Amino acid sequence: MLSSSAAVYIEMLSLKHPKTCDIIELNQFWLRDHCRCAKCFNKQTNQRLYNLIELPADVEAVKHSWSPNDQLEVQWSDGHTSTYDVDFVYKSQVAELISRRSLISASGLTPWNRSIVLQNEQHLRFPLVPLFANEENVKQLVAALVRYGIVFIDEVEPTPLMTELALRRVFPLMKTFFGEMWTFSDKQDHADAAYSKLYLGSHTDNTYFCDAAGLQALHCIEHAGTGGENFFVDGLHVVRELQRRYPAAYELLCRVNVPAEYIEEGQHHRHTAPIIRIDPLTGELLQLRLNFYDRAVFNTLPQREMSQFYASVRQLQQIVREQEQQWFLKLQPGSIVIFDNWRVLHGRNAYTGRRTMSGAYVQRTDFQSKARVLGIIE
């Protein structure tokens, strides 16, 4: 075993697909590292059984061949023998990953403005009872949530308990200092503008968390008064519009780190990241992190560059505020809205009277795990 940590150059291994004749070149250490035999990989836990430093840095294939059933058989210089499925090898390449992700983005997501979402609203609503009847209805709900970033569970008794039961049928809930389930009104229980009757502009939640909630759920339990209409904006559509209309602003908002902060007695959260996070492989939107209420002191950019930043943010906000981007609706008792907090912006009009809302967060990883288990995403 080599003790040096310096990179060791070994020629790439050229493979020709036994059926398609497509040629790929593989790093030989990568191929050895991805052996799936019982000595190297625990198929019950889906975990490797070794540390890669235990492999010789100069390991290389002494001999390789395709078996009659399209298995790649490799004899290694360290004495190990590996057998690989052809599809596993070819589908594990970055070009394949980019292609699959681009296909999902193109066919599996529907960017929307108000007119588009109104045409598709029937695909976003799911009565509660059928969700408990079988998993296929849950799959349809999660698939719609992945595609549009927003769904509704209807015919729910307007109580915090039934809200919780409905949500837990689909997802585990995220625990924060607000709790797993929270009920709020205009009583100032936390240092947050949501605990008021004031107008709230379009925003995403938890920009001050290192890992913002992936989903947010809201249920109007009661409202004896006027106003309080909610509005939703598809950040995926908005970001694509920004990139099309103002490419320089888009590039800057993908790059500049913006601090956010939450402070109340016993709590002090702070996180800094760009407003727009993109997939480094496909360039598609991963997260829109937009909340002007939670902005901390902006100290991550030299003063001479501030003008360009503020101009870029104004261009983004102008698109967000366009009437055609905003879907206005009054949340009614009995209907839970669940939306992707990494994609969909939400806000509300000011209101009068007594208004009680119940809600919860879901971690991003739990949302995506559910979608993978149901076969909706990879």
**Rounded Cα gap, residues 200 and 234, in angstroms:** 17
CA distance 121 to 152: 9
How far does the chain reach from its first CA to its final CA, in angstroms?
37
Longest dimension (CA), the chain: 78
Give which of 1, 105, 126, 121 is closest to 51, Cα–Cα: 1
Query: Domain coordinates of the chain in residue numbers?
Result: 13-92, 103-373
Dihedral sign for Cα atoms in the order 292, 295, 298, 301:
negative
172-196 CB burial, b ≥16 within 10 A, e <16: ebbebebeebbbbbbeeebebebee
Q: What is the pTM of this model?
A: 0.88
Contacts of 179 (CB under 8 A, 6+ apart): none
Same fold, 13-92 and 103-373: no
SS3 210: coil
What is the CATH number that goes with domain 103-373?
A: 3.60.130.10
13-92: which CATH topology?
NE0471 N-terminal domain-like (3.30.2020)
Q: How do the pLDDT tens digits run along the chain, 378 residues long?
A: 444 456 677 899 999 888 888 899 999 999 999 999 999 999 999 999 999 899 999 999 999 999 988 899 999 999 999 999 998 998 898 888 887 777 666 668 999 999 999 999 999 999 999 999 999 999 999 999 999 999 999 999 999 999 999 999 999 999 999 999 998 876 766 667 777 888 999 999 999 999 999 999 999 999 999 999 999 999 999 999 999 999 999 999 999 999 999 999 999 999 999 999 999 888 899 999 999 999 999 999 999 999 999 999 999 999 999 999 999 999 999 999 999 999 999 999 999 999 999 999 999 999 999 999 999 998
